Amino acid sequence: MARVVGGVVLCSILLSLAGWAGPVDNLRLHPAAHKLSPRLVHALADATLEGRLTVWLTIDTAGLVMPPVELTERAKRRRARVDPSGLLLDRYDRLLPTILLEDIAASGADILYASRWLKAVAVDATPEQVSALLVEPRITFIDRATTLYRTIEDTRAVESRRPAIDPGVYGPSLPQNQIADAVRLHDIGLSGAGVYIGLFDTGFDTTHPAFDFTSIDTTWDFINNQSDVTGDDCPTDSESRRQTYHGTQVFGAVGGFLADTLVGVAYGADYALAKTEITCGGLEVKLEEYNWIAAAEWADVIGVDIISGSLGYTTFQDSGSYSLDDLDGNTALITRAADIAASKNILVVVSAGNSGNDDWHRISFPADGDSVIAVGAIYPDSGLADFSSRGPTADGRIKPDIVTLGVGVVVPRAVGGFRYNSGTSFAAPLVAGGAALALEHDPSLTAEDLRDFIRSTGSRAANPDIDYGFGLYSATRAARIAALDIERSYVISVGQTREIELAVVGTSDSVPAFYGVNLPLGVEVVDMGGGVGWLNMRGMTENVGEVAFGVAVDVGYFVDTTSIQLITRELTDKSVTLGPNPFRDSLTIFLNGHAGSFKSVSVFNIAGEKVWEALNVSPQATELQWYGRNSAGQPAAAGAYVVFVRTDRRTERLKVLKLD
């Protein structure tokens, strides 16, 4: 395939079809040499290079007529949740034209994959074929596909920290569902039904009894270009080297179901299984990254709602590796593809990586994507698993996003039976499954909604860090069916009162009702009806110290209880004081310390009649006078009075005596 540019047939200049083993200096003199990446130049100039190379061709699409991709009805419905009229259609939905691909194939190179999202083509080519591709004017950059390392699991012994086995339908899988807080959603009938989850992994033993009731909608093997994802591509006597070993376990954690043994978090969802990861030889090759990208584009077209990936990539074996500096969310091809998938209203959930104990230490790709939920692993006691990869990203963003159980997760074995296994590989599907339950409950939720709910309801959302991210994942909280939007702790003094309006956030259409759980003296929950309620707290001597109670929100089919802590202190350092007491002509009300700003002051006689009131007091005021007169300006009678002082922080009631 020779192209003529400016009357010069570039493929014949300084390039010998006998190979690229000549001096690197000569290669740099080639008129189109600027298209070659440094690592590809290095490889082509290597006299020891033999065989074929996998290379990545970046395409200039300006002026090309690119046909649109055909979306399934399911994909259109997913996109319509964000963009009902335009269906999110943009340049990423345009295919590279067939004529261009035919030109590339005419070089003799084997096309492995053409990416409509990245506008690039992966090919397997000889050095001679690369030389021919160099002069194609639509090819702007040629890079070598490199071999990389990856750790997809951690199988260290964890028996000493394994949770106790509980009876019931969950069997030994109860802890992973409890820690992910999915049991309460299962209890109200949610299973992920109607939600479409795409799993990208090594391969899957779909004949395992754990999947007898699982809905597998479609499958595709991106390694061998066939629909069967169950076969082994290379002979092995090692269970962990079987092609179906890892994928079967990940699938079981999210979609399996066998009574008394395993309940996957989203056992009722529909699944699209993509075989992308090559296990033969034990090495990781760049082709797997291309396979992942191809699977993501496939998942978009068929209508997948959630992508769950337990494959993360880090360093390369040759020059030009990704580095820690590349963890910026924009560099790695797989990360760019993951973020594009998210832009198509797909929730992308991936494992953070298992590099917490090695030199890399940080998250892997594509966990660095800003629109990707990266999941770290914890022990059953909520301590961070030592192998769980840490953040932040190269540009300082919080990663991982969330954590859940990743040690002692019950999964099916590709050789039959079940086992406990560990790694962020098995934490990610628990979060993806929980998100499916939320989407089943409210199909109008977008991927952005789900990402926000997952992060904002984590146990450390108020103070995230680079170990736990936004904290422990709660599928129930992240589903946002109904939850109180109030502070979780309060401090008052004896004699003070706090009145808190109960506001509910969530996706339930039912009118909430409120009630208290284990309320102490001085605390009441008032349900006014119509979704209006109040939490009233009064500091009492009997409750000095710290007490805990609950406020429940009931929407009929779901009840959520928020735990509240109340600290009541002795009134030793009064924030509101009166003086003089007793008084004759005037009384001064003082605000001290952290009392806040005046809102109102009311004076009542012993019969409960309001004598005087001051409203709209300046917020800058720290003291206020009552001149012993009623609201009509007449002198108030001598006797005992009660002064109610309301600030923006508290309400206090103080007694005072007026003399003749």
* Residue 28 belongs to domain with CATH number: 3.30.70.80
> In this structure, are 173 and 212 located in the same domain?
yes
Is 46 a member of any domain? Answer: yes
> In this structure, are 315 and 463 located in the same domain?
yes
Is 340 a member of any domain? Answer: yes
> In this structure, are 505 and 602 located in the same domain?
no
Give the separation between CA 22 and CA 432, rounded to whole angstroms.
Answer: 51
- Of 569, 595, 624, the position where a domain reaches its end is 569
Amino acid 12: pLDDT: 33
> In this structure, are 341 and 368 located in the same domain?
yes
Amino acid 284: pLDDT: 59
Dihedral angle computed from the Cα positions of residues 226, 228, 231 and 234, in that order, rounded to the nearest 10 degrees: 10
- Pairs from 520-523 (Cβ < 8 Å, separation ≥ 24): 520/547, 520/549, 520/566, 522/568, 523/549, 523/566
**pTM exceeding the 0.75 threshold for the entire prediction:** yes
**Dihedral (CA of 225, 229, 235, 236) sign:** positive
Confidence of residue 479 (pLDDT cuts 50, 70, 90): very high
Is 456 a member of any domain? Answer: yes
DSSP string, 368-407: T-TTEEEEEEE-TTSPBPTTSPB---TT----S-EEEE-S
> In this structure, are 271 and 394 located in the same domain?
yes
> In this structure, are 540 and 580 located in the same domain?
no
Amino acid 660: pLDDT: 83
Q: 306-309 and 196-201 as β-strands: parallel, antiparallel, unpaired?
A: parallel
Q: Is the CB of residue 536 less than 8 Å from the CB of residue 498?
A: yes
> In this structure, are 599 and 614 located in the same domain?
yes
> In this structure, are 475 and 511 located in the same domain?
no
Domain count, the chain: 4
523-529 average pLDDT score: 95
> In this structure, are 592 and 616 located in the same domain?
yes
Amino acid 535: pLDDT: 97
> In this structure, are 221 and 326 located in the same domain?
yes
Give the separation between CA 500 and CA 526, rounded to whole angstroms.
Answer: 10
Amino acid 30: pLDDT: 61
- Write down the mean pLDDT value for the chain: 87
Q: Which of 3-7, 234-238, 497-501, 536-540 has the lowest mean pLDDT?
A: 3-7
> In this structure, are 617 and 511 located in the same domain?
no
Domain span at residue 371?
Answer: 159-479
Confidence of residue 193 (pLDDT cuts 50, 70, 90): very high
Between 149 and 175, residue with greater pLDDT:
175
Give the separation between CA 141 and CA 122, rounded to whole angstroms.
Answer: 12
Helix (H, G, I), strand (E, B) or coil at 639: strand
> In this structure, are 490 and 541 located in the same domain?
yes
